[in-house]
Amino acid sequence: MKFKDGYWRMRPGVRGDYAASAHDVTEDAGSLRVLAPTREITRRGHTLDGPVLRLDLSSPMPDVIRVRTVHFAGSVPDAPAFEVRDERPDVRVAVDGESASLTSGALTVRVRRDAPWEMTFSAGGRELTRSAGKSLGVMHDADDRHFMVEQLRLSAGELVYGLGERFGPLVRNGQSVDVWNDDGGTSSEMAYKNVPFYLTNRGYGVFVNHPGRVSFEVGSESVSRVQFSAEGHDLEYLVIHGPGPADILRRYTALTGRPALPPAWSFGLWLSTSFTTDYDEATVTSFVDGMAERDLPLSVFHFDCFWMRRYRWCDFEWDPEVFPDPEGMLRRLKERGLRVCVWINPYIGQASALFDEGAAAGHLLRRPDGTVWQDDHWQAGRALVDFTSPAAREWYAGRLRGLLDMGVDAFKTDFGERVPTDVVYADGSDPERMHNYYSLVYNETVHRVLAERGAPVVFARSATVGGQRMPVHWGGDCESTFEAMAESLRGGLSLGLAGFGFWSHDIGGFEGRPDPAVFKRWVAFGLLSSHSRLHGSGSYRVPWLFDEESVDVLRAFTRLKARLMPYLYGAAVQAAREGVPVMRAMQLEFPGDRACDHLDAQYMLGPDLLVAPVMSVDGDISYYVPDGVWTRLLDGETVTESVIGSVIGPGWRTERHGFDSLPLLVRPGAVLPIGARDDRPDYDYADGVTLRVHQLADGRSRTVTVPAADGGDAAVFEVARAGERIRARRVQGAPMPWNLLLAGVREARHPDLETTPGGVRVAAGPDTDDIEIILRGAE
């Protein structure tokens, strides 16, 4: 929200009062309290009249400093509030006549005690950002609404990322962003998943701990500042020191929660009925049969909205005309090795029998006059479940348990964005602050029910801070075009920079029927995402309805993903343990490479795979390769030339790829664990695993952990190179066969050496714990 008219003047009707100095400072139990009047105090009479801001400076964990500013303390709602960890670490506090400071870990905040107002954040002797004159204050708009506002300095060359799911350019500089969940598709400034957290390439992030609407002006009101504001009388933000972007994410997710580890089966291919298409059990069976007949591995079948009767969403009852034997149908699907997901939403249509039941029991949101809040959007006479009520949550959860008893494994938790504010919540929560927060309690209710039965997974659309704890999230409704494919990718990478570890999207796009070329290109992108779902709106997404080549492309990339599962599930375990996403913006992995700063059409899949989705019919693509000798995973060839000649090093490449290919590069020095099976995503990854060594430099070593299904370690290997000798040792794990492959190497020495198209390989038996291969030319 903009308050100024240019640099000097306020907009018509707007008035503001800014912190002028830190007039009074007190220390209490490792924290600082600062009284900041909004005018300079030079005599006692100046202490009368006018706003005085109260700042509390503290630290919830090392390298994180909390700034809480309050104007009228009696006007601050206490619910809802994000769940934020507080370790109460040891801090250093210093107060003298010139300044007051608080240091947590390497991060220090220092407040100047005289005018003008100045609060700086620094680490390692280097200033990160500051709140200076006319930055922190109280604003009133033309309608006399009350806002708290802060501005933090942007240095020259500083770039801002994050703020949740955003479909525009990855770098936020110059953008106005309102953190307010809405159902706006992927082609607008709206987003389903809004997170008031950003990070910059200067070594810090900022989390605005406010669950309601927060408006960000990222170099868009003042080009050298990030402004954030919220209506009300309090504003709390936390500055998080890195120094690297991955370190910032680790600390942010330590504060707000890290993702649960999804079950391994969820990483396989999901197939949907699509939304408005006609379907029954015969349709479902024909799809499943068609996939099997074409040798297309399928892990999950999803039933979208019309598994329930029209007008009655959600009553959680199968449409008896279409599915007369749901228990039997689910049993038959399970006998084929499939998991089952069904669509739900947090709304109750008036035609549902649950409407009267929920209204009578007080489980539905009400207006201030006590009547049930209703409208005709989506379902006629729909109402919203009041998830702030424990009884309502249990009522809703009970319906889900009935579906789990029937054989359902997962829920697609759709909607939860357009939540009204003219309502009264059961627990007294402030409706404006509940708007975004509603998505959290909705998904949390469903996730907990699933967790009662084992490793849970939801397929959620709406989210806010803390939503990352309940994966998976998908990118929402997009068109079936290359442009929408690019939008979706930008949204997913931005969401990853807000701590969300797992992300998916509708392969082929949602609205419209994709051209076969769009479908095939999207298949490659979709199977090289953390989770992969074929889904659409008015048309089916089975590949043979596009062309036979689509079948071949889907088969190739589905089987490739299954083989990559030891590596991908390792990245998933890292996301759950550290908060670093599986799909990573290039800047997250290469923060020192300025060429990566703006890249939003390619990404790293885990730490070692570079993926550049092709978004053109003819297969032409330009993409950036960071420093070093990278290897193409699909053919084992190395990438050593830039577009300007034969120079080895970083640079842009322009290539043309068929539908069965795309730029998929392995990082120099990587050792990828590749699985022995390609027919399913959930298997014993250590049994027959192949360690693919890629350009491991002399004197370097890598520890490779092959994960188990529960996220533990199934096997651990040490791979090292000394001169021309490459040695791999199994240092942990049960006796199982395994393989060592040197990618791109054509000649080497070992008694059991085998030459393959991908490089030389040695196969080891279960009792062999050590393999050494000597490269050509070594003694």
What one-character-per-residue DSSP string does 286-344 give?
A: HHHHHHHHTT----EEEE-GGGBPTT--S---B-TTT-S-HHHHHHHHHHTT-EEEEEE
Give the whole-angstrom CA distance, residue 527 versus residue 521.
10
Q: Which of 472, 509, 469 is nearest to 487 (CA)?
A: 509
Of residues 386, 417, 608, 678, which has the active-site annotation? 417
Q: What tokens appear for 461 in the block?
A: 């659309």
Instruction: Work out the angle at residue 717's Cα, subtended by the Cα atoms of residues 713 and 720, and round it to the nearest 5 degrees.
Output: 150
Residue by residue, what is the 3-state secondary structure of 708-759?
CCCCCEEEEEEEEEECCEEEEEEEEECCCCEEEEEECCCCEECCCEEEECCE
> Which element (helix H / strand E) includes 573?
helix 565-578
Residue by residue, what is the 3-state secondary structure of 488-538?
HHHHHHHHHCCCCCCEECEECCCECCCCHHHHHHHHHHHHCCCCEEECCCC
Give the whole-angstrom CA distance, residue 762 versus residue 745.
12
Q: Which of 340, 341, 389, 332 is nearest to 365 (CA)?
A: 389
Q: Which amino acid is at 536?
A: G
Q: Is 767 a catalytic residue?
A: no
Q: What tokens appear for 381 in the block?
A: 């006479």
Starting at the earlier edge strand, list the strands of the sheet with 99-104: 92-95, 99-104, 107-112, 119-123, 126-131
Which phi and psi angles does 652 have, rounded to 5°? -95, 145
Of residues 182, 183, 414, 589, which has the active-site annotation? 414
Give the whole-angstrom CA distance, residue 405 versus residue 454.
13
Q: Is 515 a catalytic residue?
A: no
Give the whole-angstrom CA distance, residue 300 versus residue 277.
19
**At which residue do the structure tokens 């348990």 appear?**
401
Q: Is 414 a catalytic residue?
A: yes
Give the whole-angstrom CA distance, residue 649 versus residue 30.
49
Q: What tokens appear for 703 in the block?
A: 């520890």
Give the whole-angstrom CA distance, residue 293 versus residue 466.
42
Cα separations (Å) of 177 from 5, 417, 435?
A: 18, 16, 16
Give the whole-angstrom CA distance, residue 4 versus residue 779.
74
Number of alpha carbons in the 13 Å side-chain half-sphere of residue 346 = 28
Of residues 158, 165, 315, 477, which has the active-site annotation? 477
Give the whole-angstrom CA distance, residue 52 versus residue 40.
11
What one-character-per-residue DSSP string does 45-67 give?
A: GGGSSS-EEEEEEEEEETTEEEE
**CB–CB of 748/776 below 8 Å?**
yes
Q: Which of 310, 307, 394 is nearest to 342 (CA)?
A: 307
Cα separations (Å) of 544 from 147, 194, 336, 516?
A: 56, 37, 21, 10
**CB–CB of 662/613 below 8 Å?**
yes
| Three-state DSSP class for residue 694 | coil
> Which element (helix H / strand E) includes 401?
helix 390-406
| Three-state DSSP class for residue 548 | helix
- Distance between alpha carbon 326 and the CA centroid of its chain, in Å? 34
Q: Could you give the residue numbers annotated as active site?
A: 414, 417, 477
